[in-house]
Amino acid sequence: MAFELLVARGQIDPQGPEADRFIAGSLKDVTMHEIGHALGLRHNFKASTGITRSQLRDKAFTALRGVSNSVMDYNALNLPLADETDADLQMGSLGAYDMWAIEYGYRDFPADREAAGLAAIAQRSDTDISLAYATDEDASTPDPLVNRYDLGDDPLAYAQRQMKLSRELWNRTQARTLAANDDMTIYRRVLQRVFAGINATVPLATRYVGGSIHSRALAGKNEPLIAPVPAARQREALNFVVNELFTTQSFKFDPKILSRLGIDQLDRISARSQTSTDYSLAQAVLGVQRSALDALMSEALASRMADAEHKVDNPKTLMSFADVQTRLSGAIWAELRDGKTSGREVDSLRRNLQREHIKRLATGLLRPAASSGNADAPAVNRMVARQLESELRGALSAGGWSNMARAHLEDSLAMISEALKAPLNKQGV
């Protein structure tokens, strides 16, 4: 995606020396990473958080220090926004963490001073943010600072940048004039890369909601090992997901371009993966939205948010699972509250999202998972479902809907009403 955008901006000629330098930089980055493994280093998915956003835009800084503090991170490309200054795109040298870890592993000490010498090296990480560390096992925790393929000290800000870059690429592609003898595979290829970029923002944002910052501190530092993400940051992340992925205007594309998404028939791998020359925008959008709903409507999230109440002095300062579900439902079903009395419509992308939301609510009511041991999720699902049932009835009574919208809303009402009336299926009983 980055290469395609740089070409679209006119910063790289695909057949020129800039393209060769781009490829060589990527090869150097991955070679340093693999040699690091050969020397005994593990992944460090927190290394990029030790570099600030302003430092990433400083050419002198990135030339000297790189775009991350370790080649052992899965570092994203340091792509500037359209109005930002250029700096190094890739990790061009070893980072501060790499030098420190190698020193700890390979420095020689006299036998009688080895323990003290190694302890002194290790203690540098207590005060030096450039030595932050989190590896593969940490990547499965709800720590929003531990990610693959991000950059900078604020992963949520990086997600917001990535969304802007993805949309810039698509807008430039839509405005691009093709030669008369060009085929139109460029449109499909770019659109797929755009959706890959948008998809990458989902885990970066959703990990903040109900997330917690994890530490490897020893007892002497007198700090918590697990600290819930502040409520303001959780709300900021939730608002990002809602505003970018769940609103009516989120995925508006030029119909003329969507009818010109060609397939490269000579690309055998791509051709085999396509069941039709058509491209389903609806399925691409729903794929992104499902990923977000998976994270934000899960019983695992309900359990984490309940557990967080015991890790702070005042639980009222935190977001609750009910707060999250109320916000989601309000955004997903915004058409029910638009105040119109005629010409009311729900487009196909919104209908897909709303069906997905209804299905998850109904499933949560009828078959709550037994493994989590937390009853908050089914209780909140029932509260949200009752509110939604009432709003659906009111919206249908008000009228003014198109035939397709009315059919969709009546079906949604039937599904949620039946789920609310049905007996609970308790697993394991």
Choose among 228, 215, 203: nearest CA to 304. 228
Residues in the chain, overall count = 429
Segment (H or E) for 322: helix 321-332
Angstrom distances, CA of residue 18 to CA of 8, 11, 76, 89 = 14, 8, 19, 12
* Longest Cα separation, the chain: 86
Q: Residue 12: its pLDDT value, please?
A: 93
197 HSE (CA, 13 A, CB side):
27
Can you give the pLDDT of all 429 residues of the chain as single tens digits? Answer: 999 999 999 999 999 999 999 999 999 999 999 999 999 999 999 999 999 999 999 999 999 999 999 999 999 999 999 999 999 999 999 999 999 999 999 999 999 999 999 999 999 998 899 999 999 999 989 999 999 999 999 999 999 999 999 999 999 999 988 888 888 888 998 999 999 999 999 999 999 999 999 988 888 888 889 999 999 999 999 999 999 999 878 898 899 998 888 887 776 555 555 556 778 899 999 999 999 999 999 999 999 999 999 999 998 889 999 999 999 999 999 999 887 878 899 999 999 999 999 999 999 888 776 555 578 899 999 999 999 999 999 999 999 999 999 999 999 999 999 999 987 655 544
CA–CA gap between residue 386 and residue 333 (Å, rounded): 14
DSSP character string of 284-351? HHHHHHHHHHHHHS-HHHHHHHHHHGGGSS-GGGS--HHHHHHHHHHHHTGGGGS--SSSB---HHHH
Q: Residue 24 is encoded by which pair of tokens?
A: 């060589």
- Report residue 134 as tokens: 């989190």
Q: What is residue 273's predicted lDDT score, i.e. its pLDDT? A: 58
- What 3-state DSSP class applies to 243? helix
- Choose among 313, 312, 316, 324: nearest CA to 380: 324
Cα 404–chain centre separation? 32
Rg, C-alpha atoms of the chain: 25
Cα dihedral value 30, 36, 37, 40, nearest 10: -170
- Residue 305 near residue 321, CB atoms below 8 Å: yes
CB-side neighbour CA atoms (13 Å) of 3: 14
DSSP state of 230: P
- Per-residue pLDDT at 269: 58
Helix (H, G, I), strand (E, B) or coil at 307: helix
Residue corresponding to tokens 């729900």: 346
pLDDT the model gives residue 351: 96
State residue 212 phi and psi, 5-degree precision: -150, 145
Q: Token pair of 22, please? A: 């781009």
Q: What does pTM read for this prediction?
A: 0.91
Q: Is 248 helix (H, G, I), strand (E, B) or coil?
A: coil
- Residue 176's CB: how many other CB atoms inside 10 A? 13
The whole-number pLDDT of residue 429 equals 45
